[in-house]
Amino acid sequence: MTISTLPPDRNTSLSSMRYDPRLQVETRSDEIDLTSGLRLIRRRMVMIMATIMVLMAVAATVISGLKPTYHAESRLIIHTPLATKLGTDESGRNDPLDATSETERLLSRSIAERVIRDLRLNEWPEFNPALQEISPIDKIRSMLRGWVDSEKPSLPIRDSIEPIIPKYYKALRVWRDGQGDVIQIGFDASEPELAASVPNRLISIYLEERKDSLRGRVDAAEKWILLRIDEQMGRAKAARDAADEYQETMDVVSNDDAQVEQIKSIMELGERRTKIEQSRAEARATISALEATDDPSLVLQNMVIPDSIGAMQRELRAQEQDLERLLETYGNTAAAVVDMRAKILKSRTDLSLATDRYLQSIRAKLAALDHEDDAVGSALVAAHEKRARSALAQTELARLQRLADKEQTALDKLEEQRRGLAAQAMLPGAELEVLSPAAVPLAPQGRGRLFYLIGALLASISIAVTAAFVVEMLDNSVRSFDQMGGMSRIVPAGFIPHLKRKDQGDPSMLFGRMQGGMFDEAIRSVMTSLKQSNGGKLPNSIVVTSAHSGEGKSLVARSLAIDLAANGIPVLLVDGDLRLGNLDSFFKSELKQGLNDFLCGQAGMRDIIHHHPSGIDFIPAGNASLHRRVRLTDVADIVAMAASQGQIVIFDSAPVLASTDTMHLTALAERTLVVVKWGKTSRRAVEFCLHQLKTARNAEIAVAINNVDPNKHAMYNFSDSELFASSLRKYHEFS
């Protein structure tokens, strides 16, 4: 179906219908909501499905290679032997059992080696790397490692136990059930019988090794104690011999009666010395009194004297009394008085002589008392010295005896420890109560392959969707005029949907019959926008360019020319890409000369114009080797010539960022159309391109987004996505 239109008046003014991003709804492309996410998934569905298929292929390969694993467990409790709890002697009691320590014993290297040897785990490929086939991934990994490391990797030794140990520990699990004393032992293997055999064999080996370990510890301790006992017996004997030898050498009396006799002797000597001192004091007092008076008879009256002296003193006192009576009777001159006085004198003389002799005896007694006092003092000093020596000897002997008792106590304690070790050797190291032995599992552990495939599918979907979001976030290409809203002085010229590759170079699809599809409608919309931006009139000259090559500017330029020619408007299409222009291959002008030749002065204007049957005049690029800088006067001549003939000149120029010739053309042309490739051209490139063009000519620049995928663009959250809604696309469908 073809839509024919009457040629419009090119100078007719149209009402302003310009596209302005600032007047669109507030929804932005960088806003994330549920609708945006669903649209993103829809437009990235191919990428998501491809990613899911790749990930699922890898996951399916890995899951298909998984072998079923059987898991067997045994649960047990390890008690301290009851006999050790009933014992009262700490030396004969086992160390208290700790469930954590016993768990570590079950994981010991010695038990692992015995289990591996007893059950021949080295003959199972899942535990012995030497029996495993090398996977392609491992081969590639070894090859890459060989490129980096010059040393060749050593192959696993078949009979070595070292590579089996890590595999064994990876399959084994020993843990406590909470804070209790229950220990669980689990093992994973590809064979159910092997999975059950390992925990049961491990328990039996554990008991054997614990018994042997306890026996060895007891033997070593007993040997050490016996050596200590021998040494202690020697020290105890030496201490006793030292105490006995000291007692004999010092003649230490350990009898209590002898000590009492020593104390009694000291007390008697003290009492004797006290009495001697009293007697000496009395003798000195008597001597002093007798020596101090002239009449001893007067002193003797108050003293204890011998009987002879006392008799003489009484006789003298009687004579004196008789003399007093005689004097009273006969007077002083009587013979009896004289005789009595003579007797008294004689009695006094005798009394004086007796007193002198008594005084001498007292002095002799005092000297004897002095001598006796010296003897008693010497004896008392000797007794005290003997007592002191005896006390020191007793103290030293007591110290030696305490030392001997201490050594004997240590010997007795070692003997008790030896007896305790002998009793401990008769007790078991631990009492094991198996709550549930390891039984042969009937079904493999874990989920089935279907479960893992479903999990892999969910993970693949998550990874694919995440990758799609990441790619979308990293996408900096232009897809909408909303993304260029911050760029000033641009005129959105519209969207141009993509054509199939076979239609882009087929003249029959473009010349002679313009299609009424979405592409033709977009070209007419671009032309309308150019007319509106030019004050309602078609511009005399249009430069079609782009930021980079391959963005479809040549397709847009010739499509604009075909649209104008189809509407009866004369048009001159100039291939302004002087280096890589290829429009001649589309029009098949077969001209040998072109714009390059004209600008270099080697051809005239009429020699380079090709008149196409569609009504389009075409100037090819010409010989690229003759390329020179664009001369504005020559190009202006082409524009003037076209204007004189009522033609609109369309320049298909080189990319702005590739050639400065485009800058000269835009300075000469009336309007500039920049073509941006949808989903390819970056916003940075567009912004820089527009900046260059605005520098060349300070005017508004029309921008057209080319190669738009209508289906995908409708899935974005841009405000202009409604242009390609499914309801609108129906208007452009035809059969």
pLDDT of residue 462: 92
Averaged pLDDT, 549-578: 85
Cα separation of 241 and 249, whole Å? 12
For the segment 173-184, the average pLDDT, to the nearest whole number, is 82
**DSSP bridge partners of 494:** 704
Least confident of 123-132, 357-366, 512-521: 512-521
Same fold: 70-220+427-436 with 490-732: no
If you ran DSSP here, which 8-state letter would residue 646 be given? T
What's residue 187's pLDDT?
Answer: 93
pLDDT digits (tens, 9 = 90+) for 442-456: 888 777 778 888 988
Number of H-type helices and E-type strands within the chain: 23, 12
Residue 503 has pLDDT above 80, yes or no: no
What are the sequence ranges of the domains in the chain?
35-62+448-472, 70-220+427-436, 256-423, 490-732
Length of the chain: 735
* pLDDT band with cut points at 50, 70 and 90 for residue 335: confident
Query: What is the spatial distance between Cα 264 and Cα 270, in angstroms, rounded to a whole number?
Result: 10
The pTM assigned to this predicted structure is 0.52
State yes or no: pLDDT of 725 exceeds 50.
Answer: yes
pLDDT at position 270 is 84
Measured in whole angstroms, how far is the alpha carbon of residue 685 from the centre of its chain? 47
Q: What's the CATH superfamily of 490-732?
A: P-loop containing nucleotide triphosphate hydrolases (3.40.50.300)
Amino acid at 628: R
Closest CA to 438 of 606, 195, 248, 725: 195
pLDDT tens-digit profile of 580-622? Answer: 877 777 777 777 777 777 878 777 777 788 888 877 888 888 7
Residue 369 amino acid letter: L
369: three-class secondary structure by DSSP? helix
Helix (H, G, I), strand (E, B) or coil at 732: helix
pLDDT band at 38 (very low <50, low <70, confident <90, very high): confident
Question: Is pLDDT larger for residue 294 or for residue 198?
Answer: 198
Q: What is the pLDDT of residue 12?
A: 44
Task: Output phi, psi for 136, to 5 deg.
Answer: -60, -35
Q: Which of the pair, 604 or 512, is modelled with greater confidence?
A: 604
Does residue 99 surpass a pLDDT of 80? no
Q: Which fold has domain 70-220+427-436?
A: Alpha-Beta Plaits (3.30.70)
Element (H, E) at 385: helix 335-425
Q: What angle do CA 180, 181, 184 make, to 5 degrees?
A: 100
Cβ atoms of residues 278 and 366 within 8 Å: no
From residue 153, how far is each of 131, 162, 188 by CA, in Å?
A: 17, 16, 29
* Percent of all residues in the chain with a pLDDT value above 70, rounded to a whole number: 81
Separation between Cα atoms, residue 297 and residue 290, nearest integer Å = 9
Angstrom distance (rounded) from CA 459 to CA 577:
51
Interior/surface letters 380-409, b for 16+ CB within 10 angstroms, e for the rest: beebeeeeeebeebbeebeebbebbeebbe
